[in-house]
Amino acid sequence: MISAGDFRNGITIELDNNIYQIIEFQHVKPGKGAAFVRTKLKNVKNGGVIEKTFRPTEKCPQARIDRKDMQYLYSDGDLYHFMDVENYEQIALNEDAIGDTLKFVKENEMVKVCSHNGNVFAIEPPLFVELEITDTEPGFKGDTATGATKPAVVETGATVYVPLFVNQGDVIKIDTRTGEYLSRV
């Protein structure tokens, strides 16, 4: 149990049968009345954000999130298969648990599998990946003044907007959190 007076950014708590991560908190001491803690909480399962106030003495159970490194093996239909590299156990997750987090992840790459009480609720891909461009239109010199982009399809099938000088066959670095092109490799 953790009291609201001890809240910090990044702590996960259980509230109303859901797991929330504290994004923002503020201790408020008004001139009149009792102090309170104003928080912004992010639901770690569905990503929704709520605002809630607590009394400083109010207690919440602290949620323990397990993050385990696993290797993404392959997908067959709507199931995605992962392997624990320590004991070689495999798990299969459906598309609901994964969403679009694997759109920049190639087979046999390492990801973090997040679970709470044994229930997997999210997959965290690596922050940066290097992928080869399989399809893009050629860019021509003098097409634009500054900063123009064009769509390009990478080897996982995802579309990324890249500068005009990037060509088919180039390997690029992508930020998986935003899906933005960073550089050529």
Q: Give residue-wise pLDDT tens across range 85-143.
A: 888 888 888 877 777 788 888 888 899 888 888 778 778 888 888 888 888 888 766 65
Residues 132 and 115 in one domain: no
Domain hosting 132: range is 128-184
Mean local confidence (pLDDT), 26-55 = 88
pLDDT at 166 (0 to 100) = 84
**What is this structure's pTM?**
0.69
DSSP string, 153-176: EETTS-EEEEETT--TT-EEEEET
Choose among 105, 107, 122: nearest CA to 73.
Answer: 107
**What's the number of domains the chain is made of?**
3
Among the three residues 75, 101, 124, which one is the final residue of a domain in this structure? 124
